[in-house]
Amino acid sequence: MHVVTVLSLAIPTVLQVCIVSLLLWRRLQKRFLWFFVYSLYSLLEALIRLAVSHSAGVYFKVYWSTAPIDLALTVLALRESFLSIFWPEARLRWFRWAFWTSIGIAIAYSVWEAWALAPREAGRFVKMYLDFELVLDIVISVFGLLYGGFIRLFGILEHQRETAIILGFTAIACLGNFGWLTRSVFGTRFKLLSGLTLAVAYIVGEAIWISDLLRTERKLPEPKQTLEEMSAVMARYTAILHKYLGREA
C-alpha cells in the first residue's frame, strides 16, 4: 500500500517538474502568471507530501494544510485563462453578475451544508472544504465540457494554450468527481480506488498540459487585407446597397 501511495505521489511530481520546465522554456511564465504560480506550488506541495508519506498522521495534516491554497490557485489559474478568452464578455455587467452569483451560490451552499448538517466522518472544516471542492469541481467540469464542445462545433483555433489549461483542469475535476462519488456511494469499500482516482486525475491533467507545451503554438494566418482596405470594401458595398434600395423606393 505504501509503494502505491509513493508512486501516486511521485509520478505527478515528475510530471509537474516537466510542466514548470516547459513553461520556462516557452517563456510563458509571465503570460500565464497564475498558472505558473499554481504549477510551482503544486510541485512544492507534491514534494512535501512525498517526504511525509511514510507517516499517515503527518501526511493528512500536511494535506489539509496545503489543499485550500491549491484550490485557491486553481481558481486563479482558471480565471486567468477564462478572462484571456472571454475578456470582451467579462466587461458586460450581466456577465459579471451571473458569474459571481454562481460562485456565491457555490460558497453559500458549502457553508450551509457544513454547518446545518452534522459531520459524518470528518470535522466541520474538512467537510466544508470537501463540499466546496465538490461544487467547484462540478462547475469546472460543466464549463470545461461546454467549452470543449464549442471548440469542436465551431472549429475554434485561437487560444491554444488557454484551451489546454482549461481542459487540463476539466479532466482533473471530472475524475475528482468520480472519486468523490465512489467514496459517497461505497464508503471505504473501495478506498484504494477512490484514493488512486485523484492521482490519476492529476496525471491526466498534467499529461494534457505537457502535450500542449511540447507543441509549437499555432499561428493563425494573417489577413490578406488590412483593416483599412476591408473597411473601404465594406463602404463600397454599402454604397451600392443604398443606391439599389433608393431605386427600389
Residue of higher predicted confidence among 210 and 131: 210
**Residues 6+ positions from 77 with CB-CB distance below 8 Å:** 32, 34, 35, 37, 38, 165, 169
Predicted confidence band of residue 118 (pLDDT cuts 50, 70, 90): very low
Q: Report pLDDT for 42.
A: 92
Q: What is the pLDDT of residue 127?
A: 64
Residues 6 or more apart whose CB falls under 8 angstroms from that of 144 comprise 166, 167, 169, 170, 171, 173, 174
Q: How far apart are CA 99 and CA 120, in angstroms?
A: 32
DSSP state of 158: S
More confident residue, 12 or 108: 12
Please give the backbone phi and psi of residue 117, each rounded to the nearest 5 degrees, phi first: -105, 140
Q: What is the pLDDT of residue 246?
A: 63
pLDDT band with cut points at 50, 70 and 90 for residue 14: very high
Q: Collect all residues with Cβ–Cβ distance below 8 Å to 195 and sequence separation of at least 6.
A: 5, 8, 179
Task: Give the separation between CA 34 and CA 171, rounded to whole angstroms.
Answer: 19
d(CA 97, CA 81): 19
The model's pLDDT over 48-65, given as tens digits with 9 standing for 90+, comes to 988 887 887 888 788 878
Radius of gyration of the chain from Cα atoms? 23
Range of the domain at 95: 2-248
> Across residues 169-184, what is the average pLDDT?
76
Residue range 23-35, pLDDT digits in tens: 999 999 999 999 9
Please answer whether residues 205 and 172 qualify as being in contact, where contact means their C-beta atoms are separated by less than 8 angstroms.
yes
Q: What is the pLDDT of residue 119?
A: 47
**249: pLDDT confidence band, cut at 50, 70 and 90?**
very low
Summarize the confidence of residues 57-78 as an average pLDDT.
85
Mean pLDDT on 203-222: 84
Mean pLDDT of 146-166: 75
Q: Helices 191-214 and 160-186 sit at what angle, rounded to 10 degrees?
A: 180
Amino acid, res. 62:
V
pLDDT at 6 over 60: yes
Q: How many domains does the chain have?
A: 1
DSSP 59: H
Question: Within a 10 A sphere around the Cβ of 192, how many other Cβ atoms?
Answer: 13
Q: Is it the case that residue 222 has pLDDT exceeding 60?
A: no
